[in-house]
Amino acid sequence: MKWVILLAMLGLVITGCGQEERIDFEAARESMINADEAFSLASVEEGMRPAFDRYMAENATIYRDRMEPITGREEILSFYPPPDEQEGILSWEPFYAEIAESGELGYTLGKWIYTVTDTLGMENEDYGYYVTIWKKQPDGSWKYVFDTGITGPEPDEEIPEDIPEE
């Protein structure tokens, strides 16, 4: 009888070890989108440098127009002016996101606006689109490992037609 109980317990342990943890993809995707939105809010409220610092993975890379790729925390932070020297406000909004089957890597697509107020109080805006690749950290937070953007026309309020809706 003891052998039967022991074999049954061993079977349960082996069966339990073979099962993979189920990932709630929608929850993971939403948490990544929330990180992207919080990143934008930090850029508006605190400045670009503190925001890019807070949401940056240690091995992050950014691509910017007419520049070589910039990799690493110190190099990326040196690209952005200190908040008291920042001329404008950068904000963005994701309009599409995908997440890997592992739930640990994903990307967001969105539109950005950079607003500068001149000495006469007139606002000038530049527009564009961005791609950010995110990696889930051991503490459950999301950090960007890659970020790039392009300048473009003033974005429509609608999602671009070539992006599938979920």
pLDDT at position 158 is 60
Strand order in the sheet with 56-63: 70-71, 56-63, 142-152, 123-136, 105-117, 88-99
Give the number of other Cβ atoms within 10 Å of residue 33's Cβ.
Answer: 20
CA dihedral over 85, 51, 112, 70, signed as positive or negative: positive
Q: Residue 120: what pLDDT? A: 81
Which domains are delineated in the chain?
Answer: 23-152 (3.10.450.50)
Strands 123-136 and 105-117: antiparallel
Q: What is the pLDDT of residue 10?
A: 41
Tell me what pLDDT residue 13 has: 46
pLDDT value at residue 5:
47
71 closest CA partner among 57, 54, 84 = 57
Sort strands 56-63 and 142-152 into parallel, antiparallel or unpaired: parallel
d(CA 27, CA 11): 32
Residue written as token pair 């950090």 = 143
- pLDDT value for 125: 93
Q: What are phi and psi of 122, to 5 degrees?
A: -85, 135
pLDDT on residue 18 = 47
The pLDDT score that the predictor gives to residue 43 is 97
The Cβ-side half-sphere exposure at 67, using a 13 Å CA radius, reads 14
pLDDT given for residue 97 in this prediction: 97
Q: 3-state class of 164 per DSSP?
A: coil
The residue among 75, 42, 64 whose CA lies nearest residue 143 is 42
pLDDT in 10s for each residue of the chain, 166 residues:
554 444 444 444 444 454 456 888 899 999 999 999 999 999 999 999 999 999 999 999 999 989 999 999 999 999 999 999 989 999 999 999 999 999 999 999 999 999 998 878 788 999 999 999 999 999 999 999 999 999 998 867 665 555 555 5
